[in-house]
Each structure stands twice: as structure tokens, then as C-alpha cells.
């Protein structure tokens, strides 16, 4: 995979990336995924197709790169007053966003790329949100379960249901939150 | 999605399906996924491309259909003497098979198809294996957790790690089994 990480902000590489990402988002808003091609994206971004091939490798890798950027959380988890309430609010929003049409499409793009780097990044974004909630709970003096346990027992079941079954119901999400919070004693 | 379920065994529809599935498996064994096309598969299966388009809709749906057939378990879970031992043996094998190269490719094919029917079927196969283990444990007079809880707390974390992270380690799988068995009291 030829995706360059962290280009120098404002540098030529960063500007190419921003322009290509923007072109992909615009194309996806205007046409179905099956119609999107690298030449179309290149024309819109004002770069040559070979610039895109050199940097991203193929269309699927580029779509995954754009999807993972959109999956990056744009806010801190809401402060709802306690660890359990924070986790509850976060989990409800996560389940809702990820099971929406655009959410499912982004997950599909991230998972469809052969290299797993973007999927890991996506998982790491989620983990960081849980870390914020855990740190806040501890700062308040409350007990909070191990972050890996929250990933295994709350995040994983929500994502599994979205991918393999149906929408995770709100009541099920509440049960999962209560169950994992219980382990913190 | 135009996938017809359960064609009459031995009927024309079943023969077409068997022949096309066989052609896909053979093509995938001989060339990379990116080179496989519907015309190639049709020629090998001795049907017209339009037969395939009419029945499966597109290549991705056909690949998903073949992948889910390959993911169908071909054996009962091993009887290891107790509910916990059965679940342990099953989970280790599941984690190993699904995180292998061919396992990951099959999961990717199933999840890449737009319609979720095949993903559900795949999840249902897994669930049936847990039901067998649960029934056996109860017949022995042992306690066994609710099957949905096993899906949420054991199967989902294994699959999440395979999709978004890395290989689930054997020690982690053991911990997950012990934890969910504990809930059965």
C-alpha cells in the first residue's frame, strides 16, 4: 500500500491529499460507487491519474483512506456526569451512526481494502474515545473497566451485529453497557 | 439481490448453481480475485453470462454466495467432555480458521456484497454451532450461558479483532471463554 501517512501540513503532498480526498467525497455524493473511477477523481482534483495510482495503489485503497478519515471522531465523548452515563451516551451514538447507511458504507470501504492498516486506524479511533471516558471516570474517582474489556464486550458486539445481523437495539446496547460496567466492581 | 434460495435438489436450477459455484472455486484457485470475471466463470461453467447476471446480479454477489457456502461448518463441534471444554475447542478452531488467509478472504467477500442476506446466513451458521454446544452441555446437566450472550461476548470479540485489529491470541480466546462461562453461574 502506497498511502503516505502524515504529510507535512501545507506541503505539496498534503495539498494533493486534501484535493483528492475532496474530489472523492464530491464524486460519492453525486454518483453511485460503481460509477466512481480514478480518472474521474483525478480530473476533478486537478491531478494526473498516475499521481493517484502512485500514492494510493488502487481505487479501493483510496476509498478506504477517505472512509477512515470520515470515521475519525470529530468530537470528545459527551460528559454525561458519570462513567456509566458517558459510556451509555457514547455507545448509543456509535451504534446509531455506524448502522446508518453512510456508516455501513464507510465500514465496508475500510474493510474491503486488502491491507488492514486503515481498519486498525479505525479501531484505534474508537479505542481513544473509550480511553477519554475511562480517564474522566477515574478523575471523578469512579471505577471503570479495563479499556480492552470495553472493546471486547461492548464495541465488538455492536459492530458484529451491524456487520452480520441487523441494527443493535437500544435496549441491547444498554444491557451491554450495564454488563461491562458491572465488571469494574 | 436475485439469489434463489434452496433450489429443488437435482433440478435444473440446482445444477446451474452447483456448476457456477464450482467454476468460481476453480477460478479463484487459479488466478487472483481481480482477474476473475463473470464471462470467464460462465465459459467454465458452460452457461451464458446472462444466466449468471439474472440469477446473482453481479460478481460481488456471486462471490459472496460462494464464500458463505464455504463458511458453512462441515462438522459438529467436537465433544470435549464439558460445556466449557467444548466451547474452548470450538472457539480456538473458529479464531484460527477465520483469521487465516482464506478465512479473511471469505469474510471480506461476504461483507462486500451490498445485500446483507449472506452475512446473516454466516452469522446463523455460527449461532447453530453454539446451540449444539449449549444443548449438549444441558443434556449433561451442566450450566451454560445464553446463546446470544456467547455470540456477544465470545464470537463478536474474536471477529472484531480479526476484522479491525490483528489475530486474536489463544490466551485472549481462553479468557473470553472463561468469562462468558462464568456468567452461567
Round to whole Å and give the CA distance between A73 and A150. 18
Domain ranges across chain B: 12-57, 74-182
Using CA atoms, how far residue B121 sits from A8, B5, B142, in Å, is: 46, 11, 29
Tell me, yes or no, if B119 comes closer than 8 A to chain A by beta carbon. yes
Question: Do A38 and A77 touch, CB atoms closer than 8 A?
Answer: no
Residue B1 has pLDDT above 50, yes or no: no
Which of A120, A123, A160 has the CB atom closest to B156's CB atom?
A160
Digit-coded pLDDT (tens) for B5-58:
555 667 788 889 999 999 999 998 898 888 899 999 999 999 999 999 999 988
Which of B123, B163, B176 has the CB atom closest to A119's CB atom?
B163
Tell me, yes or no, if B70 comes closer than 8 A to chain A by beta carbon. no
Tell me, yes or no, if B60 comes closer than 8 A to chain A by beta carbon. no
Confidence of residue A4 (pLDDT cuts 50, 70, 90): very low
Among A27-31, A137-141, B44-48, the range scoring the smallest mean pLDDT is A27-31
- Give the count of alpha carbons within 13 A of A15, CB side only: 5
The DSSP code sequence of chain B is --PPPSPPTTSHHHHHHHHHHHHHHHHHHHS-GGG--HHHHHHHHTS-HHHHHHHHSSHHHHHHHHHHHHHS--SPPP--SSHHHHHHHHHHHHHHHHHSHHHHHHHHHHHHSSSSHHHHHHHHHHHHHHHHHHHHHHHTT-----HHHHIIIIIHHHHHHHHHSSPPPHHHHHHHHHHHHHTT-
The CATH class for the domain spanning A74-182 reads mainly alpha
The C-alpha R_g of chain B, in whole angstroms, comes to: 19
Q: Which residues in A lie closer than 8 A to residue B176 (C-beta atoms)?
A: 152
The CATH class for the domain spanning A12-57 reads mainly alpha
Q: Which residues in A lie closer than 8 A to residue B152 (C-beta atoms)?
A: 153, 157, 160, 176
Residue-level pLDDT at A8: 65
Instruction: Please give, rounded to a whole number of angstroms, the shortest distance from the CA of B82 to a CA of chain A.
Output: 24
Residue B3 has pLDDT above 50, yes or no: no
Tell me, yes or no, if A157 comes closer than 8 A to chain B by beta carbon. yes
Residue B4 has pLDDT above 60, yes or no: no
Tell me, yes or no, if B184 comes closer than 8 A to chain A by beta carbon. no
ipTM over 0.85: no
Q: Which residues in B lie closer than 8 A to residue A108 (C-beta atoms)?
A: 111-112
Interface test with B, best of A61, A160, A174 (most B CBs within 10 A): A160
Using CA atoms, how far residue B160 sits from A58, A122, A141, in Å, is: 25, 12, 31
With an 8 Å Cβ cutoff, are A163 and B161 in contact?
Answer: no
More confident residue, A32 or B83: B83
Round to whole Å and give the CA distance between A106 and A28. 11
A82-94 mean pLDDT: 94
Round to whole Å and give the CA distance between B119 and A67. 21
With an 8 Å Cβ cutoff, are B152 and A123 in contact?
Answer: no
pLDDT cut 70: percent of chain A above it: 92
Q: Cα angle at B161 between B159 and B166, to 5 degrees?
A: 130
Residue-level pLDDT at B156: 95
Round to whole Å and give the CA distance between B68 and B24. 13
Confidence of residue A1 (pLDDT cuts 50, 70, 90): very low
Residue B90 has pLDDT above 60, yes or no: yes
Which of B116, B153, B155 has the CB atom closest to A153's CB atom?
B153
Question: Do B126 and B176 touch, CB atoms closer than 8 A?
Answer: no
Using CA atoms, how far residue A146 sits from A130, A157, A181, in Å, is: 10, 16, 10
Residue-level pLDDT at B152: 93
Average model confidence (pLDDT) across chain A:
87
Amino acid at each position: 500500500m502506497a498511502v503516505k501517512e502524515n504529510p507535512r501540513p501545507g506541503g505539496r503532498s498534503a495539498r494533493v491529499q486534501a484535493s483528492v480526498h475532496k474530489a472523492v467525497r464530491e464524486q460519492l455524493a453525486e454518483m453511485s460507487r460503481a460509477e466512481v473511477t480514478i480518472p474521474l477523481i483525478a480530473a476533478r482534483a486537478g491531478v494526473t491519474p498516475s499521481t493517484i495510482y502512485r500514492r494510493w495503489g488502487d481505487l479501493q485503497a483510496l476509498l478506504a483512506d477517505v472512509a477512515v478519515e470520515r470515521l475519525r471522531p470529530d468530537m470528545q465523548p459527551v460528559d454525561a456526569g458519570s462513567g456509566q452515563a458517558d459510556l451509555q451516551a457514547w455507545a448509543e451514538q456509535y451504534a446509531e451512526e455506524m448502522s446508518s447507511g453512510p456508516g455501513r458504507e464507510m465500514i465496508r470501504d475500510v474493510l474491503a481494502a486488502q491491507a488492514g492498516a486503515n481498519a486498525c486506524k479505525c479501531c484505534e479511533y474508537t479505542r481513544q474515545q473509550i480511553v477519554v471516558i475511562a480517564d474522566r471516570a477515574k478523575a471523578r474517582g469512579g471505577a471503570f473497566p479495563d479499556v480492552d474489556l470495553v472493546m471486547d464486550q461492548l464495541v465488538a458486539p455492536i459492530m458484529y451485529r451491524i456487520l452480520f445481523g441487523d441494527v443493535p437495539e437500544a435496549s441491547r446496547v444498554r444491557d451491554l453497557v450495564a454488563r461491562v460496567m458491572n465488571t469494574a466492581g
